[in-house]
Each structure stands twice: as C-alpha cells, then as structure tokens.
C-alpha cells in the first residue's frame, strides 16, 4: 500500500472515531475513583512512613484574596487514589523512567478485562496465576502488544468504605487480591503488555509482603518498564476485549507515580 493510501486510511479511521464519539456509538467509561480527603489510601505499618492523604487548601473563594475566582493548593502523595506507578517507584526499577519520561504511546492501548470476581468473593486473598491468563487467551486471543490487563475483582464495590477497602484483620494485616509471583514475572518478562490495572489500593495483593520476592508485581513489572494503575472502578462496564484504555497521569519530573484520570473508549453496543 502506498504511503498516501496508508495516511488516508489512518485519517479515515480517526475521523470515524471522532464521528462515533459525537453520535455516542463509541462510549467513554470513566474508570477513575473520585479523589478527595475520604479516598482510601495505602497504610504501611510502622516503622515505614506513609504518604499524606489528598486535601485541598483554599487560597481564595470570590473574596478579598481573589474577588473573581476560587482556587486551591493541592496537598497529596503521588500514590493516592487511582494512580500510576512508574518504574522508578521500586528499587528494582530505580534506573528506569519517572512519570514524565513514560512515552505517551505507552499510556494508550487495548484494554483487556479478566473477570475473577467470583474467586475474589470466595477468597479475599485470591491470587491471579498464569493459568488464569491462559484460560482467558483460549477464549479471547493472545494478549496484544501494548495492551493493558485489567483485573476485575469486584473490589471497587468497597471503594467508599475505607475499612472494607483495605480489609485488615485483627492483627492489622490487609487482605485483598493480587498476583502470584510466577504470574507477575511472566507479565513482566514474557508478555508484550504495557501494564496492568487493578481495583485494589495497590498492584500487589494485600498479603504480598509475605511473598518471595515481596510485592512481586512491583518487583518484576517496574524492573521491566511495565506500569501499574490502581483503584480502578467500573470495569464491569467493559467487555473482555474491544475497548481502548487512556491513562493520563501528571507528567511530574522525577515523579515515582501520579494520580491519574483513566478512561476507556468502548463500542456502545458492548457496554454492560
């Protein structure tokens, strides 16, 4: 195919997408948990230091400090609410990219939804293994290059209740779904994915400190230039394949992560 024909095809595809957005044939699903002071956040045990929660500080509100406008200072940690983990966040990725260095093309790609809500409901410590991905692939096809594997566990139903979301036992140990060591390593080293997305507070299981290596999703993915997004919601509205994901973190220079707006584009006929 000649170059002009290729360009014409690409332009036609983009024009079709824009037209479908205008006519609602393509829907936009917001996968982002609203960010406020009440948003549940990770709580590390002593002696580890925690990030600050999100808060707004009023600077003016149509008054003497600013008679025609209202604006705030934002106070927040990087890894708060729906956020992206960059490679430099973890010791194994310390020589990798910060948030601002992640190529925009890596933040847009096919959304692949793997539903394990039944398993997570039966066992809050459920771990996704490679065989779950193989079973998914046998039905929907191979994981595409540049795709994002979104794991639906039903955990977003807990997102408005801090205690249920963090799900700590009487000893203060959290219990939430995650990945086996083998699965995390396979995604990081063998797949062509750009990253993973989860509905929980972090990309690892609540009990991941006890795995070897500890926190395997962080350990392997961030060491291999793969990314993680957390605290997603509304995955139930997406089909297993066919949606496109847009991840929009702040390009913080030196940032190890950033709160992000995460959107999915999906054929309206495929929306649940």
Residues 6+ apart with CB under 8 A from 169: 175
Cis peptide leading into residue 213 (ω within 30°):
yes
* Nearest residue to 31 via CA among 194, 151, 118, 206: 151
Please answer whether residues 150 and 113 qualify as being in contact, where contact means their C-beta atoms are separated by less than 8 angstroms. Answer: yes
* Nearest residue to 245 via CA among 227, 260, 229, 264: 264
Residues 6+ apart with CB under 8 A from 154: 117, 120, 121, 199
Catalytic residue at 75?
no
Phi, psi of 133 (to 5 degrees): -70, -40
Phi, psi of 119 (to 5 degrees): -65, -40
Coil, strand, or helix at residue 180? coil
Please answer whether residues 200 and 164 qualify as being in contact, where contact means their C-beta atoms are separated by less than 8 angstroms. Answer: no
Which of 89, 132, 218, 219 is catalytic? The answer is: 89
Please answer whether residues 259 and 227 qualify as being in contact, where contact means their C-beta atoms are separated by less than 8 angstroms. Answer: no
Q: b/e map of 79-100 (b: 16 or more CB within 10 Å)?
A: bbbbbbbbbbbbebbeebbbbe
Catalytic residue annotation: 89
């Amino acid at each position: 195919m000649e170059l002009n024909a290729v360009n014409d095809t690409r332009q036609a595809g983009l024009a079709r997408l824009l037209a479908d957005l205008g006519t609602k044939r393509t829907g936009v699903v917001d996968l982002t948990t609203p960010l406020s002071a009440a948003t549940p956040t990770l709580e590390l045990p002593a002696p580890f230091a925690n990030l600050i929660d999100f808060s707004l500080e009023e600077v003016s509100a149509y008054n003497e400090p600013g008679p025609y406008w209202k604006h705030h200072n934002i106070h927040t940690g990087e890894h708060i609410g729906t956020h992206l983990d960059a490679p430099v966040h973890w010791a194994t990725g310390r020589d990798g990219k910060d948030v601002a260095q992640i190529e925009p093309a890596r933040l847009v790609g096919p959304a692949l939804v793997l539903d394990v809500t039944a398993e997570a409901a039966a066992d809050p410590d459920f771990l996704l293994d490679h065989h779950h991905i193989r079973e998914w692939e046998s039905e929907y096809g191979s994981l595409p290059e540049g795709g994002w594997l979104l794991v639906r566990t039903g955990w977003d139903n807990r997102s408005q209740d801090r205690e249920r979301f963090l799900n700590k036992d009487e000893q203060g140990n959290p219990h939430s779904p995650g990945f086996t060591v083998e699965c995390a390593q396979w995604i990081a080293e063998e797949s062509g994915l750009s990253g993973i997305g989860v509905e929980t507070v972090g990309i690892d299981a609540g009990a991941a400190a006890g795995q070897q290596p500890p926190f395997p999703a962080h350990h392997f993915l961030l060491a291999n230039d793969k990314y993680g997004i957390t605290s997603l919601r509304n995955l139930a509205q997406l089909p297993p394949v066919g949606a496109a994901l847009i991840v929009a973190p702040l390009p913080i220079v030196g940032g190890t992560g950033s709160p992000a707006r995460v959107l999915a584009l999906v054929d309206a006929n495929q929306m649940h």
